[in-house]
Amino acid sequence: MVKRRRMTPLSDEHIEPGHCSSELRAQILSDVPYFKRLAAPALDAVNHYFRAFNYAAGAALYHENEPAEALFLVAHGTVKLLQYSASGEEVLLDLLGQSDLFGGLTMLGQRCYPQNAFAQTPCCVLMITITDFRYLLRTYSEVALNVLDAVARDLEAAQATIRAISTLPAEARIARVLVRLADRLGEADDGGIPIQSPLSQQDLAAMVATTSETVSRVISGLRRSGDIETGRPWIRIRNRTNLARLAGEI
């Protein structure tokens, strides 16, 4: 019997009953920068304030300009953040995987969600209300300090992205995003690092502020050089070192 070749390296995303159990929530929370190095009793208390929600692919978690009432954490699957252009087209801002935080930070002055959040794949998301999160900040000084550190890192990363868009050529910007997505969403296999999320050339174009035609040209070049392998709609990183060098990171 001839074994059919798998046409896509993307993992099947299915949420099983109990996938976001209390034990799994505690494990994921322990890896989140906000809650790093919390003692077990404190982490158990933090876990108590989070609730788990399952979303089908394409479901909306919240919409831009709605009151920011909760902070979210990806437990399983992929969430996409996007905005809409003047013509109504989706503009992808970011893809989020396990342990990534997103949503409202009203404790830092953000009163409305700054973008739209949708489930890219079936996913399980943990949610904590802003009121409860403020309580955690008042109760656990470690959490408050970790949040300040994380916000500083996020601001630094945002500034680096702005500099990259302003100064780097499109090829370097695309390589930079591919490396970042591989590190966050990749699952290494014998052939490299498949980015475990559907990713179109239009998505990449939006993320690096260029055109789909430019992305097509750059992706074709990276494919010919053997640095990546592509299908529809997936990308496997074959040589992360070369991409990082092209992005100016090494």
For 177-204, write each residue's pLDDT tens digit: 999 999 988 888 888 999 878 888 888 9
User: What is the pTM for the complete model shown?
Assistant: 0.80
The predicted structure's pLDDT at residue 15: 47
Contacts of 43 (CB under 8 A, 6+ apart): 26, 29, 30, 35
Of 93-107, 135-149, 216-230, the least confident: 93-107
* Closest C-alpha to 25, from 78, 76, 96, 80: 76
Distance, CA of 60 to CA of 120 (rounded, Å)? 10
For the residues 42-46, what does the mean pLDDT come to? 91
The predicted structure's pLDDT at residue 181: 92
pLDDT at 108 over 70: no
Q: Which is higher by pLDDT, 122 or 19?
A: 122
pLDDT at 50 over 80: yes
Would you say how long the chain is, in residues? 250
- Across the chain, mean pLDDT equals 85
pLDDT at 109 over 70: no
Q: Which is higher by pLDDT, 154 or 113?
A: 113
The predicted structure's pLDDT at residue 61: 96
pLDDT at 53 over 50: yes
Q: Please give the full DSSP string across 164-175, using - where no structure is assigned.
A: HHHHS-HHHHHH
pLDDT at 106 over 60: no
Query: Which domains, from first to last, does the chain contain?
Result: 22-149 (2.60.120.10), 165-246 (1.10.10.10)
Contacts of 70 (CB under 8 A, 6+ apart): 62, 103, 104, 127, 128, 129, 130
As a three-state string, the secondary structure of 176-199 is: HHHHHHHHHHECCECCEEEECCCC
Banded pLDDT at 154 (limits 50, 70, 90): confident
Distance, CA of 17 to CA of 210 (rounded, Å)? 41
The predicted structure's pLDDT at residue 2: 42
